[in-house]
């Protein structure tokens, strides 16, 4: 779980926020806070599929399905 969160955090910090040194806390809200905008949701979906082999459907790309790294990591683990 820790490992997945770190990988997700590194990816989001470097590719989406363009602040590679930024650490994202596991419980920090991502979508509802506006930290991740809708144009970046596809990036997360592609990254998760390529890295962890887990599919996230397009209807799941919203804060109801996951809004933090913790929730996203749980979703990934449940589907691996």
Partner 1 sequence: MTTLAHLIHKNYQTQPQKTAVVLQHAGKDDLPISYHDLVSGSARYANLYASAGIQPGEVAVLILQHGADLVFAFWGAILHGAIPSIMTFLTEKLSPERYRADLSALIAVTQPAAIVTYPEFESDVRSALKDGDTVREVLLTSQLEAESDPEFDQLSGLTRPPEEIVLLQHSSGTTGLQKGVALSHRAVLNQLEAYTRALALTEADVLVSWLPLYHDMGLIAGFLMPILSGNTLVLLSPFDWVRAPYKLFQAVSRYKGTLSWLPNFAYNFCAHKIRERDLEGVDLSSWRVITNCSEPVKWESHQAFYQRFQKYGLRMNALQCSYAMAENVFGVTQTPLATDPVTDEIDRESYINERIAKSPVDGKPTLRMMSSGRALDNTRIRILSEAGFDLPDRVIGEIALQSDCMLTGYYHRPDATEKALRDGWYLTGDYGYTLNGEVFVAGRKKDMIIVGGKNVYPQDLESLAYEVPGIHAGRAVAFGIEDPEAGTEEVVIVAEVDTDDPAERQKIADALRRHISQNSAVALRHAHLVDSKWIVKTSSGKTARSANREKFLQEIERT
> Which positions lie near partner 1, rule CB under 8 A?
17-19, 22, 31-43, 46, 49, 58-59, 61-63
> Least separation, in Å, of the C-beta of 46 and partner 1?
6
Least Å from the CB of residue 34 to partner 1:
2
Please state the separation of Cα 46 from the chain's center in Å: 10
Kindly state the smallest distance separating residue 7's Cβ from partner 1, in Å. 20
Q: How far is CA 54 from CA 18, 75, 80, in A?
A: 25, 9, 6
Q: Which two tokens stand for residue 69?
A: 């790294």
Q: Are 72 and 7 in contact (CB under 8 A)?
A: no
Cβ closest to partner 1, residue 7 vs residue 29: 29
């Amino acid at each position: 779980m820790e490992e997945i969160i770190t990988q997700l955090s590194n990816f989001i910090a470097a590719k989406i926020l363009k602040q590679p040194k930024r650490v994202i806390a596991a419980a920090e809200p991502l979508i509802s806070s506006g930290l991740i905008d809708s144009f970046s949701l596809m990036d997360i979906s592609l990254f998760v599929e390529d890295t962890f082999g887990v599919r996230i459907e397009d209807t799941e790309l919203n804060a109801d399905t996951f809004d933090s790294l913790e929730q996203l990591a749980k979703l990934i683990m449940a589907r691996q």
